[in-house]
Structure 1
Amino acid sequence: MNKVDRRIAKSQEAIKKAVIELMSEKSFDDITIQDISDRANVSRGTIYLHYLDKFDLLGKLIAEHINKMGEICESTAEMDFKDANLPWFEYLKSHFLFFSTMLASKGAPSFRRQFHEFLIEEFKDEVDTTKGKNQGLNEDVILQFIVTSYVGIVEWWITNGMPYPPQVMAEQVGILLERNL
């Protein structure tokens, strides 16, 4: 396994942090590579060494978080919804600036779409329309209902400054999922 040079990792983290901070202050379209370079305290060349442009940087940053959420899903696959939600809400809390920026109106609209698509994939195996309370209902409708609700509650929680701790959110959202799936 290749070891990543600590200086490279430190530069990449500074660059990612800089773009998120800048996006919380102004529109992504108004952010320049020079802005990112100045905020991260790295040269423009360092940014271009790791990323093609600011769009590549944002795309890789979003992919990194989506991949991490996928890992959380894999590690909690055998848990009930209440227990499985706790690592999710803890992750959201620990990356508050990223999620608040991505879900804000001046954030990246593509993130919300990718987050929605990711959740569709994660929840599709949970939907059973052959028996129980969802018998006879359309799977696509159920999935859209659950995922749109999940994205909405995450967005509400983040944009309202996380008014409840992750444990409360995990339990309550878990109960709602169990009632509806």
Structure 2
Amino acid sequence: MNQDSQRVTETKQKIKKAFLELYREKRIEKISIKEITDRAGVNRGTFYTYYLDIYDLLEQIEEEATEAIKAQAEPIITMLLNGSKSFTDLLPVEFFKNNKELLELFFGEQANPHLLARLKKMAQGIAISKLNLNCDDGTLESMRLRYALEYISSGQIGLITYWFKNEMMLPMSELGRLIEDLNLHGALTYLINHRADS
């Protein structure tokens, strides 16, 4: 990477970081370009060199983040679908630590429902592809498959959201074991096996 492209990358990172910090504090409608550029230490013209407006900035951040999450999630989903118990080695501990501000968009207090739906669709697409499922032929069975995919993907995202909102206090290795147990043996079975009277 030459100096010019490195400078561009660094400038865009400053703008994104400033935006994400502000986005944690308030709704997007309340954020001004001036606030972003002041916090990033760049001028207004520089902002417009890379982005049309705040919504364009958000869209680009969301697109990059979705691709990054997909790259982290796909091998884990694949191993889970194969029934592998060694997928915990693939858990993206560093990714979550190093991208907390970015992940706020998906799992934080102001998470965008559109992004959560996008994550679910991405996870479902991976499962459909890896398991070679036919979910679109209009049969009762394909409808049931769609419901099952919705149930599973909603559960996974809900679990990660709960973990993220609780400051990731449960070690990721333990979260991985829990995900494995819930997926391979069922949430209801997990609860029944952990009754106080058993």
**TM-score category, normalised to shorter length:** 0.7 to 0.9
Once the 2 structures are TM-superposed, how far is the Cα of residue 128 of structure 1 from its aligned partner? 8.1
The verdict on how the C-alpha distance between 1:84 and 1:68 changes in structure 2, with shifts beyond 3 A counting, is farther
CA distance in 2, matches of 1:102, 1:78: 21
Mapped pair 1:123 → 2:127? yes
CA distance in 2, matches of 1:4, 1:172: 46
For 1:41-52, list aligned pairs within 5 A. Answer: 41-52=41-52
**In the alignment, residue 57 of structure 1 is paired with which amino acid?**
L
1:81 and 1:177 in contact (8 A); partners too: no
Match of 1:113 in 2: 117
For 1:8-157, list aligned pairs within 5 A. Answer: 8-75=8-75, 79=79, 80=84, 83=87, 86-88=90-92, 90-125=94-129, 138-157=144-163
Once the 2 structures are TM-superposed, how far is the Cα of residue 169 of structure 1 from its aligned partner? 1.2
Give percent identity, aligned residues only.
Answer: 24
The verdict on how the C-alpha distance between 1:111 and 1:77 changes in structure 2, with shifts beyond 3 A counting, is closer
CA distance in 2, matches of 1:94, 1:117: 25
2:37 and 2:43 in contact (8 A); partners too: yes
The verdict on how the C-alpha distance between 1:59 and 1:165 changes in structure 2, with shifts beyond 3 A counting, is same
CA distance in 1, matches of 2:183, 2:16: 33
Structure 1 unaligned residues grouped into runs of 5+: none
The verdict on how the C-alpha distance between 1:136 and 1:150 changes in structure 2, with shifts beyond 3 A counting, is same
CA distance in 2, matches of 1:36, 1:75: 35
TM-score of the superposition, structure 2-length normalised? Answer: 0.75
Match of 1:172 in 2: 178
CA-to-aligned-CA distance 1:117-157 (integer Å, 9 cap, x gap): 22221222456889xxxx99810111011010011011101
CA distance in 2, matches of 1:93, 1:81: 23
CA distance in 2, matches of 1:129, 1:75: 18
CA distance in 2, matches of 1:136, 1:179: 23
The verdict on how the C-alpha distance between 1:142 and 1:78 changes in structure 2, with shifts beyond 3 A counting, is closer
SS at match of 1:162: coil
The verdict on how the C-alpha distance between 1:101 and 1:70 changes in structure 2, with shifts beyond 3 A counting, is closer
CA distance in 2, matches of 1:94, 1:125: 30
Match of 2:196 in 1: none
The verdict on how the C-alpha distance between 1:145 and 1:26 changes in structure 2, with shifts beyond 3 A counting, is same
SS at match of 1:52: coil
The verdict on how the C-alpha distance between 1:143 and 1:2 changes in structure 2, with shifts beyond 3 A counting, is farther
Q: Taking CA–CA contacts closer than 8 Å with sequence separation of 6 or more, which of the two structures ends up with the larger relative contact order?
A: 1
CA distance in 1, matches of 2:129, 2:85: 13
Q: CA RMSD in A?
A: 3.0
Structure 2 unaligned residues grouped into runs of 5+: 135-140, 187-198
The verdict on how the C-alpha distance between 1:163 and 1:43 changes in structure 2, with shifts beyond 3 A counting, is same
